[in-house]
């Protein structure tokens, strides 16, 4: 199946786990092995306890919609408007947020606070985490 055009991330040692995580359908974030804090975007240290021992850990993939915008502007010739850009709050931690897109929902049905779950768009080796109504 041919997926729609997306600008994809450059993959390096710091972000590879995140962008390839969806291969097994699971979303992962970097987590502090000292205090359990999830760190996003990935960084070299836990900002809460200054622990350096961090590792990618799975999360449930459940989230709530924190904010959104329905984009109508043609910024790029490769894409069909309108589409929904979303800021989601991941269930595991209050300040664990992700900018993403909502899929499988009509723009006028989108409501802040709605429950969501992750789905991945396959751009092998990158799997882009998107969200749909749960």
Partner 1 sequence: MTSYENRVVISGIGQSAVGRRLNRSAIDLTVDAALAAVADAGLTVADIDGIATYPGAGGGPAGFAGPGTPEVQDALRLRVNWHAGGIEGPAQMSAVINASMAVGTGLARHVLCYRTVTEATEQGGGGRSGIGAGIPKIGGTLQWTIPFRAYSAACWLALNAQRHFHQFGTTREQLGMIPITQRRHAGLNPKAIYRDPMTLEDYLSARMVTTPFGLYDCDAPVDGSTALIVSTADYAPDTPRPAARLEAVGTALRGRPSWDQFDDMTTMAARDAAASMWERTDLRPTDVDVAELYDGFSFLTMCWLEALGFCGHGEGGPFVEDGRRISLDGELPLNTHGGQLSAGRLHGFGHIHEAVTQLRGDGGDRQVPGQVEIAAVANGGGPLAGCLLLSRWR
Position 73 contacts partner 1 (CB under 8 A): yes
Nearest to 131 by CA among 82, 59, 64, 56: 64
Interaction between residue 6 and partner 1 (CB under 8 A): yes
Return the residue of 40, 62, 103, 117 that touches partner 1, per CB under 8 A: 40
44 binds, among partner 1, Zn ion, none (CB under 5 to 8 A by kind): none
Q: How far is the CB of 121 from partner 1 (least distance, A)?
A: 10
Q: Is the peptide bond before 19 cis (omega within 30 degrees of 0)?
A: no
Instruction: Give how far the C-alpha of residue 21 lies from the chain's centroid of Cα atoms, to the nearest Å.
Output: 11
CB-CB contact of 17 with 23 (8 Å) = no
First to last CA, the chain: 24
- What residue ranges bind partner 1 (CB under 8 A)? 6-10, 12, 15, 40-41, 66-73, 75-79, 83, 85, 87, 95, 97-101, 112, 128
């Amino acid at each position: 199946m041919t997926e729609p055009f997306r600008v994809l991330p450059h993959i390096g040692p710091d972000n590879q786990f995140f962008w390839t995580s969806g291969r097994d359908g699971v979303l992962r974030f970097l987590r502090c092995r000292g205090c359990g804090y999830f760190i996003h975007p990935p960084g070299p240290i836990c900002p809460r306890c200054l622990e350096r021992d961090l590792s990618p850990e799975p999360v449930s993939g459940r989230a709530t919609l924190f904010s959104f915008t329905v984009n109508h502007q043609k910024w790029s010739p490769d894409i069909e408007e309108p589409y929904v850009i979303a800021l989601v709050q991941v269930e595991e931690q209050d300040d664990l947020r992700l900018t993403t897109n909502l899929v499988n929902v009509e723009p006028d049905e989108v409501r802040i606070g709605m429950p969501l779950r992750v789905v991945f768009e396959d751009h092998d080796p990158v799997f882009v985490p998107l969200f749909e109504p749960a």
